[in-house]
Amino acid sequence: MTHKTLTLHTADGQTIGAYVAEPTGKPKGGIVVVQEIFGVNAHIRSVADGYAAAGYLAIAPAVFDSVEKNVELGYDQAGMEKGIALVSALGFDRAHASVQAAAKAVATAGKVGVVGYCWGGTIAYLTAIRDGLPAVSYYGGRNVQLVGEKTQTPLQFHYGLRDAHISEADREAVRVANPQAEFYVYEADHGFNCDARASFDAAAAQLARERALAFFAKHVG
């Protein structure tokens, strides 16, 4: 496996960076990894590396670059407050354009899927709706804002039962709006996939990864 950085030009005129992890041998397809509110930090790079190790050409676009370049935040209160401010400044449309550009960049590998975490989980869901790319959404706090937009695109959702950021009602609204989707809830907290967070749950993260890999094997390659 090797990795590099790319410069992407989006359809709406942004210039952003991206972290690319390349598999050994011919890729099975492309995977766009959409960051949390903390930027393309060490954790998100490790997620991309994990998908490359599984045989995919993985790319993590630096979606904050159009607001502020090279953002890498920690999982403390200051990082959370800065990340929330950046998300508010960015909005859905520019984030989606960044994911579109990243998907185009890895389309040489074959079919493309999207996986996102936290805020990125909602951007992954949005990309499924708008572009028809199969998507895996981990604990997307804003997913409920999209339930009025229907799609038949393959979707997989992962939520934590103890996630104080996402109510049971919001989670259920997403499930009802997407009867075709794979929908999983774990005895875990928000951010359970991230080993840099106190809420990390190794068992839930492993099971969710196995399910995500099975989903991409079916719908990407």
% of the chain residues with pLDDT over 90: 100
Q: What is the pTM of this model?
A: 0.98
Task: Round to whole Å and give the CA distance between 136 and 114.
Answer: 6
Q: Note whether 207 and 188 are within 8 A (CB).
A: no
Element (H, E) at 186: strand 182-186
Task: Tell me if 31 sits within 8 A of 189, measured CB to CB.
Answer: no
Backbone angles phi and psi of 199, in degrees to 5: -85, 5
Residue 24: its pLDDT value, please? 96
Q: Kindly write down the DSSP assignment for every residue of 51-120, as one continuous string.
A: HHHTT-EEEEE-GGGGTSTT-B--SSHHHHHHHHHHHHHHHHHHHHHHHHHHHHHTGGGSSEEEEEETHH
Distance CA 179, CA 50 (A): 29
Q: Which two tokens stand for residue 18?
A: 């991206």
Q: What would the two tokens of residue 89 be?
A: 């400044």
Could you tell me the two tokens for 98? Answer: 């960044």
Give pLDDT tens digits for 38-55.
Answer: 999 999 999 999 999 999
Amino acid letter for position 43 = H
What is the pLDDT at residue 124? 98
> Model confidence at 37, in pLDDT bands (50, 70, 90)?
very high
Give the pLDDT of residue 62: 98
Domains in the chain: ranges and CATH: 2-219 (3.40.50.1820)
The continuous run of DSSP H or E covering 212 comes out as helix 202-219
Q: What would the pLDDT profile of 9-34 be if each residue is shown by its tens digit?
A: 999 999 999 999 999 999 999 999 99
The overall longest dimension of the chain from CA atoms, in Å, is 44
Residue 77 pLDDT:
95
Q: Please give the Cα distance from 57 to 219 (Å, whole number).
A: 15
Mean pLDDT of the chain: 97
